Amino acid sequence: MTSTIGTDRAERTGMRSEASSASLTITDLRKDFGGTAAVDGISVDVPAGSFLVLLGPSGCGKTTTLRMLAGLENPTGGEIRFGDRVIARGDGTALVAPAERGAGLVFQSYALWPHKTVRQNIEWPLTVARWPKEERRSRGDRVLSMLAISDLADRYPGEISGGQQQRVAIARMIAPQPEVLLFDEPLSNLDARLRVETRGELMRVHRSSGATSVYVTHDQVEAMTMATHIALMKDGRIEQFGTPRELLESPRTAFAATFIGTPPANIVECRVHEGRLRAFGVDCGAAPPPSGGGTVRAMYRAGSVGIAADASEPGCVEATFADQVPMADRWVIGVDLPDGTRMHVSRDTPVGLLPGDALGVRLPSAPDAYFDASGELLDAEVSG
């Protein structure tokens, strides 16, 4: 894309327009460490300008994937493309140096130069790229203003707060106008209020830069708030890929159902007997075919389940009150089922109970979804 400052000048300085971005294609990507697959053949394809979140618990492979995108780790299999450029191949036939990938990276630790001022930190990658002094200054002023830290330009990292340091790290990343922005859990060191504020800043930076963003987090609220696409990872593989709405409304596995959502869905282990599902002595509706006589994992959304004062009511499971949390205009009630499974119930009003008090959980006539014993979605229609 031609820069707004003119083609010749852009080619000399390496500058791009603010809206420059590249699509991201990951094909069968793999990373082995000593015979163990940290990333086990994942594939993702998102258009230019997307905000992709790699989401999952610790050890699922999301940070290793990001490090391969940045060039800090080399893949042992598969391929990475930024737009039409092959960035890396696991067979070694292509490997672009990190500095030549057109990607910027923000670490979990801000990694600012302590002996350089805020402005000097931001302009440092431009100095390395040999931008002329006046253009470094102009670009530095722009990103300082974009991140609302112009008044900090002459301070040192040790003289500003953690939230301000994070903004400086983000400003330094976007200063060279990369096509791809990479974020490695950048908000984990901030308090709750600053996390919310900085999420908004990151989304604004993403929109204004036009770059494709890849963001690593274990926090599903961050993912649901920021992402255009989510790759939910588990054990080095992608459990489900799609938009936040798709993952929330149509989970493809029991793991996805219990990881996404505030509160997440509930899973109850049911036994199949004569075409019916039963759990804790309660009939849970018709079993989905083909179930045989095995186990079905029934999914209940928090809003589908009710609370009963008397657990002996028909369709109720005996449970123990654990806690309750206000959430927007609803209350999320936490209860423990007889096998120790935690269940969440969403309702309009709180309950007047103390932790340990007995109550009943009223299940609907049928679950919201069914998964097999391995956690895979059962798509079969259920009658009766």
Q: Which CATH number do you get for residue 364? A: 2.40.50.140
Q: Name the band, by pLDDT with cuts 50, 70 and 90, for residue 382.
A: low
Q: Does residue 203 share a domain with residue 66?
A: yes
Q: Does residue 300 share a domain with residue 237?
A: no
pLDDT value of residue 380: 56
Could you tell me if residue 377 is inside a domain? no
Domain count, the chain: 2
Q: Does residue 13 share a domain with residue 130?
A: yes
Q: Does residue 188 share a domain with residue 47?
A: yes
Could you tell me if residue 48 is inside a domain? yes
Q: Does residue 243 share a domain with residue 127?
A: yes
Could you tell me if residue 169 is inside a domain? yes
Two structure tokens written together for 378: 């059962």
Q: CA–CA separation, 179 vs 48, rounded Å?
A: 9
Could you tell me if residue 114 is inside a domain? yes
pLDDT value of residue 1: 30
Could you tell me if residue 175 is inside a domain? yes
Could you tell me if residue 102 is inside a domain? yes
How confident is the model over 65-94, as pLDDT tens digits? 999 999 999 999 999 999 999 999 999 999
Residues 138-142 have a mean pLDDT of 93
Cβ-count burial 87-118 (b if 16+ within 10 Å, e if not): bbbbeeeeebeeeebbbbbbeeebebeeeebb
The domain boundary, picked from 232, 249, 266, lies at 249
Check if the beta carbon of residue 361 is closer than 8 Å to that of residue 317.
yes
Q: Does residue 316 share a domain with residue 245?
A: no
Q: Does residue 201 share a domain with residue 113?
A: yes
How confident is the model over 193-224, as pLDDT tens digits? 878 888 888 888 888 888 999 999 999 999 99
Q: Does residue 275 share a domain with residue 208?
A: no
Compute the residue count for the chain: 384
Q: Name the band, by pLDDT with cuts 50, 70 and 90, for residue 11.
A: very low
Q: Does residue 196 share a domain with residue 267?
A: no
Q: Does residue 289 share a domain with residue 186?
A: no
* CATH number reported for the structural domain that contains residue 87 in this entry: 3.40.50.300
Q: Does residue 263 share a domain with residue 177?
A: no
Q: Does residue 200 share a domain with residue 132?
A: yes
User: What crossing angle do the helices spanning 162-174 and 118-128 adopt, rounded to 10°?
Assistant: 20
Domain extent at residue 35? 7-249
The domain boundary, picked from 219, 249, 279, lies at 249
How confident is the model over 180-199, as pLDDT tens digits? 999 998 887 777 787 888 88
Map tokens 């019916």 to a residue.
276
Could you tell me if residue 55 is inside a domain? yes
Could you tell me if residue 380 is inside a domain? no
